[in-house]
């Protein structure tokens, strides 16, 4: 079983905070905003990209924790990491070029089943 590594967890927390702050700063500088529409859960202009930072660092933290663990790399973790990455990519593509909701839902459900 994968054991939680508190050092890796704290590093992911700190790097996520710093990465999101940097992403917000860059979004303001380069005018990279998500404009709200009928599908949005926010109102007004919202900086884009913070979620990608969190996803990448969280998945990296899980991978590093697994490598530092003395037990063999758990097979379920590989499926989880790949599925989570696929969901993140689907969401990123939808942010850049809106996908039909049926296609996005099908991709998210398929990866959740994995």
- pLDDT, tens only, 22-75: 999 999 999 988 777 777 777 788 888 888 899 999 889 988 888 888 777 778
The CA-based angle 83-12-96, given to 5 degrees, is 50
Closest C-alpha to 34, from 91, 74, 90: 91
Which tokens is 111 given?
A: 């990866």
* pTM for the structure as a whole: 0.74
C-beta separation of 45 from 35 below 8 A: yes
């Amino acid at each position: 079983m994968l054991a939680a590594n508190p050092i890796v967890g704290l590093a992911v927390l700190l790097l996520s905070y710093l990465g999101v702050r940097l992403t917000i700063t860059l979004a303001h500088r380069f005018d990279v905003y998500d404009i709200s529409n009928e599908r949005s859960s926010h109102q007004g202009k919202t900086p884009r990209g913070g979620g990608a930072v969190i996803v990448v660092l969280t998945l990296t933290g899980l991978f590093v924790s697994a490598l530092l663990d003395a037990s063999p790399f758990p097979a379920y973790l590989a499926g989880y990491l790949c599925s989570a990455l696929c969901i993140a990519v689907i969401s990123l593509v939808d942010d850049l070029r809106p996908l039909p909701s049926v296609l996005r839902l099908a991709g998210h459900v398929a990866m959740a089943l994995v």
